[in-house]
């Protein structure tokens, strides 16, 4: 495992956002949703997330998540992903969101 410094970690903009919209993403290679997330002072950003095994579209709006908002924009099929949704793989490799257990302001930075 490569070690990093605190300075390296501080460069990563891991911010809290609230999911405001969820859509199917039929053009994705693997089952995924398209998410719109409100990051407060950083604006509303979109991303795709392969989280269809553990979450329905209906349960996601209002959920706070962690996202990396300072990666370059990435094109996925016909969709531009503006941030990285964070999560962890379960025993089957399906993604469980890294989420917040108590409400915090959108845009808060993980420290």
Question: In this model, does residue 103 exceed pLDDT 90?
Answer: yes
The number of domains in the chain is: 1
CATH number for position 43: 2.40.50.140
Q: Is this structure's pTM higher than 0.85?
A: yes
CB 98 within 8 A of CB 86: yes
Kindly tell me if the per-residue pLDDT of 42 is higher than 90: yes
Q: Do residues 109 and 10 lie in contact, with contact meaning Cβ atoms separated by under 8 Å?
A: no
Classify strands 64-68 and 74-76 as parallel, antiparallel or unpaired: unpaired
What letter would DSSP give residue 6?
H
Is 106 among the domain residues?
no
In a domain, 109, yes or no: no
Structural domain boundaries, residue 71: 12-97
Sorted by sequence, the CB contacts under 8 Å of residue 109 that are 6+ apart come out as 13, 14, 15, 16
Q: Would residue 65 count as lying in a domain? A: yes
What's the CA gap between 57 and 47, in Å, rounded? Answer: 14
Average pLDDT over residues 11-36: 96
């Amino acid at each position: 495992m490569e070690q990093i410094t605190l300075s390296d970690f501080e460069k990563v903009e891991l911010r809290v956002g609230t999911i405001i919209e969820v859509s199917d993403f039929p053009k994705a290679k693997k089952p995924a949703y398209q998410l719109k997330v409100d990051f407060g002072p950083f604006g509303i950003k979109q991303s795709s997330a392969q989280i269809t095994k553990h979450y329905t579209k209906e349960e996601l709006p209002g959920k706070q998540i962690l996202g990396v908002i300072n990666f370059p924009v990435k094109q996925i099929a016909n969709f531009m992903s503006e941030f990285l949704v964070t999560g962890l793989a379960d025993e089957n490799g399906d993604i469980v969101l890294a989420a917040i257990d108590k409400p915090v302001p959108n845009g808060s930075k993980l420290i």
